[in-house]
Amino acid sequence: MELVLIQILNGLQYGLLIFLAASGLTLVFGILGIINLSHGSFYMLGAYLSLTLTSLTGDIFLTLLLGVPLAFLFGMLVEWLFVRHLYGRDHLQQVLLTFALILIFNDLQRMIWGTRPHSVPIPSYLKASIQLSDVLSYPVYRLAVAGVCVVLVFCMIYVIQYTRIGQMIRAGESNREMVEVLGVDSRLLYRFVFAAGVALAAAAGTIAAPIDSVYPGIGEPVLITSFVVVVIGGIGSIKGAFFGALLIGLADAFGKVFLPEFASVMVYALMAAVLVVRPGGLFGRV
C-alpha cells in the first residue's frame, strides 16, 4: 500500500516537472508555430546553472531565483539570433535548424562544464525523509520540488488568465493567425513567449538537478518525454500538457515498479493508444 502511495507521489512529482518542460514546448508551438527540438537543451542549461550557481550561492532556491531570469535572457538571445528566422518557414527547416542548435549547445556545454557527471547538493534543511512505514520513507526534497512546481503552475495560470500578455497567449492558443491581426507587436510577444518557454524548462532542470546527477545530454530524455506529453495533450494546449504530463508521470512511476524493462515502452504505447482514439490529442484542436 505504501509502495503505491510512493509511486503516486513520484508520478505526480515527475509529471509536474515534465509539465514545466512540456508547457514551454507547447506554448512555443501554439503561439510561434515552431517545433523546437532544442528545448531539451534548455532543461540541460537549467541543470548546469543549478550546478554552478549552487556552488556560488550555496542554496538551490537562491539559484532558482537567479538562474531563471538568466535563462529567460538566454532565451531572448536565442530567439533573436536563430529562431526568429524560422517564423512561417516549413516544418522541415524548423526541425533542421533546431536540431543543429542541439549540436551547438551540446558542444558549448562540453566546452564550459566538461563531460564528467556532477551532483548538486540538497539544502541541509530539506535533507530529511518522511517515514511512511518501517521500511519505506519519502524524501522531503522531492515534496519541495513538487511544491515549487505547483507554485510555478499557479504563476502560469495567473499570467495566462489575468494579464494582457496572457490574453494574447490565449488568443494564440485558439487561433494563431488571429494574434497577428489584433495589432499586437508580434515580434515582442514571440520573443517573450519563447524566452518564457526557455525559463520554464530551465526551472525544471534547476530544481531537478539535486535529485539526479548533472551530466551531458541530460535534457534529451526530457525532450522526448515532453514531445509525448504534448502529443497526448494536443499540440498548443496547456491544459492538455498538464493532464498529459501527470498521466505520463504516473504511467512511468508505476511502470518502473511493476514492469521495469518495459516502463519506457509503456509511455509510448499510451501515446499510441491516445492517438488511435483521438489523432489530435486529448485537448487538441483538429
Binding interface with other proteins (CB under 8 A): 29, 35, 37, 82, 85, 89, 91-93, 95-97, 99-104, 106-108, 110-111, 224, 227-228, 230-231, 235, 260-265, 267-269, 271-272, 275-276, 279-281
Angle separating helix axes 186-208 and 60-81, nearest 10 degrees: 140
Least CB distance to other proteins at residue 179 (A): 18
Q: Of the two residues 121 and 279, which places its CB atom closer to other proteins in the complex?
A: 279
Q: Of the two residues 68 and 229, which places its CB atom closer to other proteins in the complex?
A: 229
CA separation for the pair 93, 13 (Å, rounded) = 35
Least CB distance to other proteins at residue 198 (A): 18
For residue 250, count other CB atoms closer than 10 A to its CB.
Answer: 17
Q: Of the two residues 115 and 124, which places its CB atom closer to other proteins in the complex?
A: 115
CA separation for the pair 54, 61 (Å, rounded) = 9
Which of 10, 26, 14 minimizes the C-alpha distance to 228?
26
Q: Of the two residues 157 and 259, which places its CB atom closer to other proteins in the complex?
A: 259
Q: Of the two residues 181 and 276, which places its CB atom closer to other proteins in the complex?
A: 276
CA separation for the pair 284, 233 (Å, rounded) = 7
Least CB distance to other proteins at residue 69 (A): 26
Least CB distance to other proteins at residue 89 (A): 8
- Calculated CA dihedral for residues 65, 215, 126, 249, nearest 10 degrees: 90
Q: Residue 47's Cα: distance from chain center in Å?
A: 12
**How many residues are given for the chain?**
286
Least CB distance to other proteins at residue 37 (A): 8
Tell me if 28 sits within 8 A of 193, measured CB to CB: yes
Q: Radius of gyration of the chain from Cα atoms?
A: 19
Looking up cell 508547457 gives 23
- DSSP at 122: P
Q: Of the two residues 40 and 67, which places its CB atom closer to other proteins in the complex?
A: 40
